A = this chain, B = another copy of it.
Amino acid sequence: MAASEGLAIGALARRTGLAVSAIRYYEAQGLISPWRNAGGQRRYQRADIRRLSFVMIAQQFGLTLPEIREVLSGLPGNRTPTPQDWKDISVTLRAHLDQRIDTLVRLRDNLDGCIGCGCLSLPKCALYNPDDRAKSNGSGPRYLMGDSPEA
């Protein structure tokens, strides 16, 4: 009834642009924790709009949901996060983004020297970086290995 009862999931979905099913999924992944009303329906705080916005931004930055959950754990649990709280955890986000950009820039800098020369001999190039690739996917060994230029 009153506004103090919190937001229903549909209202939160409209405010964030997320699908209702996505919000439930995020809950299952531990990214958001609504309470339940007498009828068993989810109710959200207004601050959860901001929380989900943060999740969406972090996803654009390339973080996985577990990573985002980790970053969000930096928020205070006992009170509604303040603007300063959000600033604080955005530092972590910025670090992730910086690293991602650095990696791509490094790749780009090597492009002309490696593919550009036509040899594609990766082990001899700085492109070969197992650490970068390890994050790509949990399944299967993926590492770069080139050949001698005669191929």
Contacts and interface: CB of A to CB of B under 8 A. Distances in A.
Interface string A47-68: 1011001101101110000000
Copy number in this complex?
2
Contact of A105 (B47, B101, B116, B132): B101
Contacts of A107: 60-61, 97
Interface string A1-43: 0000000000000011111001000000000000000000000
A57 B104 contact: no
A144 B104 contact: no
A101 to B, nearest CB: 5
B57 A151 contact: no
A108 B93 CA distance: 10
Chain A: interface size category: 35 or more
Contact of A108 (B84, B98, B147): B98
Nearest to A115: B90
Given A101-B105, A111-B93, A120 B50 contact: yes
Top 5 closest A-B pairs, CB basis?
Answer: A83-B118, A17-B145, A90-B115, A49-B151, A53-B120
Given A86-B118, A87-B118, 12 more contacts: A17-B142, A22-B140, A22-B142, A46-B150, A46-B151, A49-B146, A53-B120, A53-B122, A56-B122, A57-B120, A90-B112, A98-B108
Given A60-B132, A116-B90, A118-B87, A53 B147 contact: yes
